[in-house]
Structures are given as C-alpha cells and as structure tokens.
Structure 1
Amino acid sequence: MNRLPSNRLAARLLVGTALFVSAVSIGQVTGPLATVAHAATPANPVAGKADAQFKAIYTKEWTWRQEEFKGEDDEDSTDQVTNHLPKVDAATQDRRLKYWDGIMKELEAVPQADLSPEAKVNYGIYRDQIAVLLASQQFRDYEKPLNADSSFWSNLAGGARKPFHTAAEYKAFIGQMNDIPRYFNEQIVNMRAGLKRGFTPPKVTLAGRDSGLVNVVEAKTPEDNVYYTPFKQMPDSIPAATQTELRAAAVAAITKSVVPAHQALLKFVREEYFPGARTDLAAETLPDGKAYYQSKIKEFATVDMTADQIHKIGLDEVAKIHAQMLDVMKEVKFQGDFPAFLKFLRTDPQFYAKTPEELLMRAAWIAKKFDGKADQYFGYLPRSRFAIIPVPADIAPFYTSGRGGPGVYLVNTYNLPARALYSLPALTLHESAPGHAFQMPIAAEQKDQPEFRQKVYISAYGEGWALYCEKLGEEMGMYETPYERFGMLSYQMWRAARLVVDTGIHAKGWTREQAQQYLHDNTALADHEIETEVDRYIAWPGQALSYYLGEMAILKARAKAEKALGQKFDLRNFHDTVLKLGSVPLPVLEARIDRFIAEGGKSPYPAQ
C-alpha cells in the first residue's frame, strides 16, 4: 500500500511517515525506549507530574492539528466532512513551522527521565512525529504537492467517491466544492515557488498525470462529473425535496467552482509546471539534496542508516531471494534460464484473468480463504470488514496493482495482462487481511492509546507488517502452487530490489532505464507495472525503503522471541503484541518484543 505524498503529511495524521533517530541500525535500540523493553513499573508522583506535562502538550497540539487540517480528504479518510478545505498558502505554512518549532521546544523541556514507562514510549513516538512534521515544513515539502502516485487533486477526487449519510454531510461537501478555487489557487502559488527553486518531481514522471484534471474538465454534464458521485444515490432517510435541492446545489457548485478551478489548474500544469519541471532524477540534486534525502530515509524507514548501507542490504537480499526463485524453477521443471522463465510468466495466458470480474472474484476467494485460517494465527480479530472494489478508471493507468486500508481493498483491473494471477495471493494478503485492511482497523480499536498512535500510519511499520504477511502466507498454506509461491518470492524480490533502486536513483546517479532494467531482470513484474513503480520511486524518494526494512525488523524480532521462549512461544500472542502497538517506529516494536519475551510471551489482551 502506498500512502499519500508528503504535502499531505500532517493532514492525514502522518500517513506513511515517522522519524525515529535513536536507532543506528535495524535491531539496535538506544535511549529511553531501551529502558522500557521489560515489564512496566508502577507510576510514582514524579512520573505523574511529568506525564501530565507531556499529555498537556500532545493534547493541545493534536487538537490544533485536527482543526488546522479539517477538510483534507481522500478515499481512505474517515474524518468528518467539512464545508471547506484547509489553507495551504505560504503564510499558513510559515505559521505551522513556527507552531511545531514551539511544540518541539516544549517537548524538550519535559523531564524525560521522570516519565512513566508507557509515557516514555509515547514520548519517543510523539517527539519524532513532530520532528517529521517540522522537517517537512523546513524543507518546504508543500511546494511539491504531487508525485507520480498521488496529487492534491486526485486526493480530492478520491474523497468525492465516498458515500455520505446525512443532509448536513452533503451540504458540507457542497461548501467544500465551492472552496476548491481558493484551495487550487494557493496550491498553484506554492507550486510556482517550488518550480522557481527547482523543487519539483522529475519531468519524466509527470507525463499523463493530468488525466484526473482532464476527466473533470471534459465531463459531458455535471452529473457525469466525479464530484457528483455521492449525489447519484442518496439515503432514503433524506427527504425527496431535500435531495432535489442538494442535487441542484451540487450541479451549481460543479459548474461554477469545480470545473473552472480544474480548468485553471490544467492550464497551469500543461503550460508552465510540467514543461518547467526539473530533468534530474536524484533527490540529492534537489536544494540541500543530501540532507533532504537523508531526512526521507529517516522519515520512511524510521532508522538512522545511510544510503550506502541500505544499498548493500538490498544487494545481499536480492541475491538470497534469487537463489530461492531458482529452486522454484527446478521444482516446476522449467527448461530454460531465468530470463526465459520470467518471459514465460509474463506472457503465458494461463497466468492472467480474462475479465475484470474474474480478477476481482479471485481476490475475493483468496481473502475468504484467509478468513478460515485467521484464528489459527491471530487471537484478536478486528471488528471491521472490508469491501473489494476495482480501482476507479480515471486513476487506474497510473495506480499500483492494489491498495488496502480501513474498509477497502482496491484491485486494479486496468491492463489485465499486467495483473498476474500467481501474484494475487501475495497481493491480497498484503493489501487486505491480515495486511492493511486488518492491521489499520486493529490500531484504531486501541482506545487506551493516544489518538496520535491510533490514527498514525508509519510506513516502516505498516508496510513492513504487510510484507511480512506475504511471507506468512507460505506458513498458512495460502500458496497452492509453486507458481503462487514464486509470485510471493517475486514480491519479496520486488521490495528488496527497491532498496537498491531507490538508493541507486537518489544517491548513486542511476537512470530511469537502469532502474527499470534492474526490476525487469530480477522480478516477474509486468513491464507496465515496472514503469509505474519506478516513476513512483523517482518522484517519492525514500518511501520505497520502508517495506523490506520493516519486514526484516519483524522477522528478526520473531526469531529472537522464538529462540528465547522456546516451547512458550505462541505465534498468535506474538502477532497480537505486534498489532496492538498501533503503528510505531521500528525500534519501539523491537523494544516491545523484548518486553514480550521478558513477560514470558503472554497475550497483550486480558484473559476472557
């Protein structure tokens, strides 16, 4: 699952991001979190005072943050609909920078040694959350509010596809539509500022990314516009006369506000922004580029590692997985070399669905098959369920093969010859259950934790967990053929290769073609998917590093617990412990598993 670009960092409550600076490498935890790896101790009066000081800070800032970003929306959002969009102008951005700088100073004044054990964990998570937000403002990420994967206009359109339930929500959405011209104008000013200093996505990754704007502008009627989607089928609880009024107001908003704003933005990106975008690919060629890329490594991977270190890990892991892939080739008795096997997998019709419905039904079958195994591997199951739906047609050509989150598993049915059925079990385990559509709801159910933990999405943890679920599928018997197992290995290879490709592009001068060829030679991904993925890595530096590094941390923690606990090790208790954390930096996860071991591997949930 690929979360949103950095311009929406705070608005989506740190979706896909966190910075944790106390770990020198995967598996090494230092600082206050290391002291809480074992059983907690009772609170004392000094800790109570320090805890209260810390809680007052994060409660104040969290309330401010939610108010500040009201109206930011996309298909994943479950926030209340508001009648406006947030302000994003330069003065507002400067005010946010100063506010978070002040919050950081307040945090530094908290006597950390006096905090209770649980508050020390929360402090480490929260402080680094603020550090990420602060760094994003300092580097002026808001001047680059798009990448090859997402943009502020596609995020808004995604929000328009959600159903509403009350007349008040529909009225608020109409107000939001009428605020789009102001919002888009402020974004254009920011993009011009980024353009002026060479702070843009690389030009090569922007080709065709205006399609979402074109679809809005060229809709034949207001009723054909994506922004009219919620008004097509309205709840019966809303009186018919009110529905008529709301639909008329929506048509007026689309005609007078939505379409003209998209026309102006389309003109800007086509005539000014895309032509003027930088031609260099590497993040290190951006203003203050080396520091910028290092900040993105920390933001997405939550560890303090260099590009060279990560590149080396990637090369080693690619070699290891390649050997396993060759074993599968022998198992199926393929006559030919590795490139010939990949060509066979990419081209043989037996591996591809004939219709979108077939792909969707296969995904549903795999998800349901997991349901029958869930209680063998997890003690705590989320209360929420998810739907399986196709990726909307207007974004599908540039969208990933699948994406999951609370309530939804999106399956890309565009270009079926690029959607291998042998990879679908791994994709489904990653994006639905027990991956994103499983982990994120469990995090939201932990009401005993502060909201900044319930609603946070840290990429290294979330993507690491989802990738771990792909590997877990082998243990669960989810891969019924050697080809499906090869699909899992190809996905593992894909994420390991990202370590090589991302650092290669952004720190070692790799070309787009070099990155594409590396994935072509080492994975069974279709060429269309390779092109889409490489453009995402180019335009979104650092995000691709989170997956494999996160999985490595979980696997290492599990191996440590298995060895230490022996017969006492219960895999369900381990999984429940990992998931109950919410979404945390990798060193926090590792420290919690140390405590899990010290407590004898017991379940984190009270006995029923």
Structure 2
Amino acid sequence: MPSAPARQSTAIDAVATSYYETLLRLLPDYATQLGLPGHETEYRDYSPAGLEALAEAARETLLLLEDLTPADDVDTVTLDAMRERLGLDVEIHEAGLDYADLNNIACPAQSIRAIFDLMPTATAEDWSHIAGRLANVPDAIDGYISSLRAGRERGRVAARRQVSIVMEQAGKYVEDGGFFDSLGSTTSTDDGVLPESLTQQLRAGADAARTAYRSLATFLGEELLPAAPEQDAVGREHYALTSRLFLGSGVDLEETYRWGVEELDRVIAEQEAVADEIRPGATIEEAMALLDADPARQLHGTEALQAWMQELSDTAIDAMAGVHFDIPDVMRRVECRIAPTSEGGIYYTGPSDDFSRPGRMWWSVPEGEDSFTTWKETTTVYHEGVPGHHLQIATAVFQRALLNPWRRNGIWVSGQGEGWALYAERLMQELGFLSDPGDRLGMLDAQRMRAARVVFDIGVHLELEIPERWGTGTWTAEKGYVFLQQNLAISEGQLDFEYTRYLGWPGQAPAYKIGQRLWEQIRDEVRTSEGEAFDLRAFHTRALNLGSVGLDTLRRALVPAT
C-alpha cells in the first residue's frame, strides 16, 4: 500500500495538529507509547488540575473549529471526528466520570506501571530514562490519589469489587521479586555493565515506586473502600455516556441488547454444527474436550506459546500481503511477546511513529497457567495481528502524507478498532484461513464470548430482564457470573479477570461485537450502493486509511448520502 500522495495541510489540519501537540505536552507518557523522544522520564498530571487541563484543551479546540469549513473529504472526516470525540470528552469530564477512573484493566493504577513495558532497554541511556521515570512514579500516584479523593467528594467512586482488585494488583507490583523489584535489580544490558551510579538510581527509583504503590493500596483500603458502593451496575445515564465513548455511536441500548440475545443463540447453533463435524453427535463441550486432548494442538510453556504466536503471525502476514490487503514492507512484522505481568488478557501495542519499534502482540499469562491450546487462539492471533489490530493501527501510522498527526495517532475508538478486529476474525473464515473445524470452533468460541458480553454488560449495568434461556428475573452481577461460566470457555483465572473487567469498564466489552455489527452493516451498505463495482480489498483500504474514528463518523465517511 503506497502512502497516499501528500496533500496540502489545511486550517482544520492545523487545529488538529495543535491539539495533538497539546496532548503530547499534557500526556508525556503518551509520547513514549508513540516512540517520540523528549519525554522519557515524565508522567502526565493525574490530579484534578490535570483532568481539567485536558478538558479545557478540548473546549478551546472545539471553539477554534466552529467557523472552519472543510477543504476536502479528509477535512470533513477530521471535523466530524473531532467534534464527536472532544465533545464527548468534555461531557464525561463534566459528569465527573474521569475522577473515578478505577478498574482492573485500564486505569492509571495499571498504566503508570505499564508504560515501562514500552520503554527501550538496550543501552545505559535507556536505563537512565527508566530510572528517571521510576523516580517520578510517586508524583503520578499522588496525583491519581487526589483525583480519586475529589471523585469521592462528588459521589463518584468505583464499586467495591474494583477497589479491592486494584489493591491486590498494587500489592503484586511491590512484593519481593515483583515488577519494580525486577526493574530495580538490573545491573547490565546489551551494551555492557551499567555504571554503579545508575544501578543505585534504579534501586532508589524502584524503592520510590514501591513506596508509592503501597501508599495507593493504603489509600484504597482505608479511604476509598469504605465509600465504594456494593452495587456493580452503573445505571443508564452513566452507561449511555461510556457506551458512546467506546462506540462513537449512540445506539439504542434495548434494541442492541435484544440483538445480542439473538446473536448469541445464532452463534451457539453454528458451534453445534461445527461440533458435529469434529465428531458426529458431539456436543460443543465434548468437541472442545477432544480438541483440548489432541497433542497436536497443545503448547507447553510460555516459550512455546511465544514461538507459535510468532510463526502464525508471520504466516498470516505473508499470505495477506498483496493478495487480500495492501501491506507495505514496513508493516510486515508483528513482534509477539509474553507480557511481564500475570493479570490475564491478550493485547496489542502499536508501532512507534517511525516504525523503529514494531507493533507488538502481548500475552499476559495468569499465574499457574502453563499449558495452552492452539485451536482456541488461532483466531486471537488474527485479531491482534493481521488482518486485525496491527493492520488497522499501523496503517493509520503509515499514512503520514494523508492524515494529520491527531488522525494518525491521537484517536482510538474501541468500537471501530475492536469491531474491526472481530470483523477480521470472521473475514479470515470467509477467506478460507479457518477451514480446520477446530480453528473454526475457536473463532466461534471467541464470537460467542463477544456476543455474551453484549448481553451481560448491557443487561447487568441496566438491570434488564434475563432471557428465558438463561434464567429468570433481572440481571445481577452474581447471575451474570453464572451466565459467563456457561458461555465463556476459558480458565477460571481468565474468567474472574474478564468478569471483573466487564463490571468495572461499562460499555467497553460490548463494543467489540457491536462494532463488528456496525462494520458489517457499513460494508453491506457500500456494497449495495456500488453494485457490481464493489471491490472488497478497495473498501478495506479506504476504510483503514481513515484511521480510528467513531462508528457514526465511519459510516458518514464511507456510505454515500441518500
């Protein structure tokens, strides 16, 4: 995929670029995520002042956009996306939701630690940056604590379940042999032994970081936990905001819930048909047991897991490039790694802005888990790599000549991004890459999980009626756990992690399946509009070149107005 011809920068591009530069100034750790130099030791201001500064930057940018007219189609999308994203950021801030940002997967308690995963470690200078950022962990944690206090004063506190799990996570970070202990004990690197002065700085920084996380755990236990509500459900008003945040679309929640119930039933029926292929008359559970017992589908140890992920990812890229997708050479590598944590989950981090750091697929293996089955995870590699997240995210980074920096790197909408990745899983079946019944059952298992999350997430948080197939009365967290046990074929450790995640991150998990639904609707609308001229590869190229935008913006950009 050649980079698009350079287009003339416009007034709207200038506003977007200025806002992006403001984000890098206010969010210096975000610069590390992008591989941009100059902010290696810094953290954002997690205090109420920092939250207000972000909201004010959004307000000011929206005012600058008010009188601007798009110069071309790219401008039209930029203006649409900025008004939707920044306007919603302001709404969320004014509702006080950002003061209660606490859950088991995606809040400052994890991100303050996780930024170290993306920092280079090859040279003494790299480790000097790590030592500097370690020393700044206490200020970051103090700011975060002050925002949580402010949230408590406004009546915005995460549920007790989330507070308790983050206390537990903080404890693991600071235990002997834990994450910070490992960083602080480093004495050598690829280019030799580190100077004694630097190893002392690393030890001191690690000690400071451990002390900070201990103070966070103490605050959570002594101050926040007593104020935390027992109820996990966040209610309609809160949920409507976060659903829009993750989708970039204001969907009808009741209609979407009913669709989720129907989609779950449909996927289960498809699973039953594939189970019969694996062994005539087998139930889904029996077919899965047969696959689990197949030595050819087993991996033992994280080294074997990492090697398998890498080989499958490389094979997929070789098969996709130039045939089904346009993939430039600089994007033809995904680095597969075992994450340095044991919290559960598989995730992707994008390449640096110059591609010197490749896109990476991470697997956070829960403690005690050492055996893995390939039939379940083949579709996961496609989801995180190609044609999933890597193709999507790296394409936006690559389109420097077409998109301004905010469009390339400054926006991420889960429904569009995760929806694309789930769409990509189904696409791999359509393209013939999941012809093996076991791998296909694995894809359907993932689809079933995502459909079940729509039902669970909307049902529990809005306290809707339980479908007859799954129980009686209205949803509660406890009834939801039993429902997930019936529909998520994962280990107990993974199930506990996912269950807590859905309860603490309302609206995010359903965005995968809802996003897939909207992607498929948009594709079909374009296919109908273009008739025989429709070309799937060209559609994908047009869509991916837009970068990550809200799903309503995506539809307006791709579907001709009627």
Place the TM-score, normalised by the shorter chain, in its bin: 0.7 to 0.9
Alpha-carbon spacing, 1:79–1:313, altered in 2? closer, same or farther (3 Å): farther
Percent of pairs with identical residues: 22
Q: Which of 155, 168, 181 is the matching residue for 1:225?
A: 181
Contact map agreement 2:428 2:434 (CA 8 A) in 1: yes
Q: Deviations over 1:270-320 (max 9, x none)?
A: 333345422111111xxxxx3321111111111112321221121121122
User: What are the Cα deviations for residues 510-542 of structure 1, in whole angstroms up to 9, with x where unaligned?
Assistant: 222322222333343344333221211110011
What's the RMSD between the two structures over aligned residues?
3.2
Q: Is the 8 A contact 2:163 2:220 kept in 1?
A: no
Shift of 1:227: 3.5
1:251 to 189, 203, 222: 203
Taking a change above 3 Å as real, the CA distance of residues 317 and 84 of structure 1, as seen in their structure-2 partners, is same
Q: Which runs of 4+ in 1 moved over 6 A?
A: none
Correspondence for 2:379: 426
CA change 1:568–1:55 in 2 (3 A) is closer
1:121 aligns with 2:77: yes
* Deviations 1:352-411 (CA, angstroms, capped at 9, x unpaired): 43332333333223213213311321123361422111122xx32x32145454321112
Partner of 1:604: none
Report SS of the residue matched to 1:449.
coil
The unaligned stretches of length 5 or more in structure 1 are 1-41, 285-289, 599-608
Q: Which amino acid aligns with 1:254?
A: A
- Alignment partner of 1:131 is 2:87: yes
Structure 2 residue matching 1:209: 3-state secondary structure: helix
Output one character per residue of 1:155-185: Cα deviation in whole Å (capped at 9) or x when no partner: 2222223324666554444333222222212
User: Judging changes above 3 Å, is the alpha-carbon distance between structure 1 residues 502 and 146 closer, same or farther for their aligned structure 2 residues?
Assistant: same
* 1:391 lines up with 2:345 in the alignment: no
**Structure 1 position 197, deviation (Å):** 4.3
Match of 2:354 in 1: none
Partner of 2:41: 83
- Taking the TM superposition and a 5 Å limit, the aligned residue runs for 1:86-485 are 86-108=44-66, 110-112=67-69, 115-161=71-117, 162-164=119-121, 169-219=126-176, 225-228=181-184, 231-236=186-191, 243-255=195-207, 257-284=208-235, 290-335=236-281, 337-338=283-284, 340-341=285-286, 344=289, 348=293, 350=295, 352-374=298-320, 375-381=322-328, 383-384=330-331, 385-392=333-340, 395-396=341-342, 398-403=343-348, 405-406=350-351, 407-414=359-366, 415-416=368-369, 419-447=372-400, 448-455=402-409, 456-485=411-440
State the SS of the aligned residue for 2:157: coil
Instruction: Tell me, in whole angstroms, the C-alpha distance in 1 between the residues paired with 2:47 and 2:393.
Output: 32
- Contact kept, 8 Å, 2:48 with 2:99, in 1: the verdict is no
Q: Deviations over 1:13-72 (max 9, x none)?
A: xxxxxxxxxxxxxxxxxxxxxxxxxxxxx99xxxx9xx52x3443333322221112135
Q: Which has the higher contact order (CA 8 A, sep 6+)?
A: 1
The code of the aligned residue for 1:150 comes to A
- Shift, 1:561, TM fit: 4.0
The farther-off stretch of 535-544 and 323-332 is: 323-332
Matched letter for residue 304 of structure 1: G
Q: Secondary structure at the match of 1:372?
A: helix
1:584 alignment partner in structure 2 = 549
Kept in 1: contact 2:84–2:248 (CA 8 A): no
| 2:500 matches 1:557 | no
Residues of 1 paired with 2:230 and 2:155: CA distance? 9
Aligned partners of 1:307 and 1:507 also within 8 Å? no
Closer/same/farther in 2, CA of residues 583 and 422 from structure 1, 3 Å limit: same
- In structure 2, do the counterparts of structure 1 residues 336 and 96 end up closer, same or farther at CA, with 3 Å as the change threshold? closer
495-504 or 518-527: bigger deviation: 518-527
CA distance in 2, matches of 1:362, 1:440: 23
Gap change, CA 1:513 and 1:422, over 3 Å in 2: farther
Tell me the matched-pair count.
Answer: 531
Write out per-residue CA displacement over residues 399-452 of structure 1, whole angstroms, 9 at most, x where no aligned residue. Answer: 214545432111244354885422111110001222112221111011121111
Mapped to 1, the partners of 2:174 and 2:494 lie a distance apart of: 28
- Call closer, same or farther: CA 1:343–1:468 in 2, change over 3 Å: closer
Q: Which amino acid aligns with 1:451?
A: P
One-letter amino acid matched to 2:261: L
Give the 3 Å change call, closer, same or farther, for CA 205–83 of structure 1 in structure 2.
closer
Between the aligned partners of 2:41 and 2:492, the Cα distance in structure 1 is: 42
| C-alpha contact (below 8 Å) 2:382/2:388 kept by paired residues | yes
Show the counterpart of 2:470.
Answer: none
CA distance in 2, matches of 1:158, 1:542: 23
CA distance in 2, matches of 1:100, 1:545: 27
Provide the TM-score with structure 2 as the length reference. 0.85
> Contact conserved, 2:324 with 2:537, CA < 8 A, in 1?
yes
**Cα separation, 2, equivalents of 1:281 and 1:264:** 25
1:95-124: CA deviation from partner (whole Å, max 9, x where unpaired): 44344333323333x154x65433222100
Gaps of 5+ in 2: 1-6, 352-358, 465-474
CA contact (8 A) 2:174 2:180 kept: no
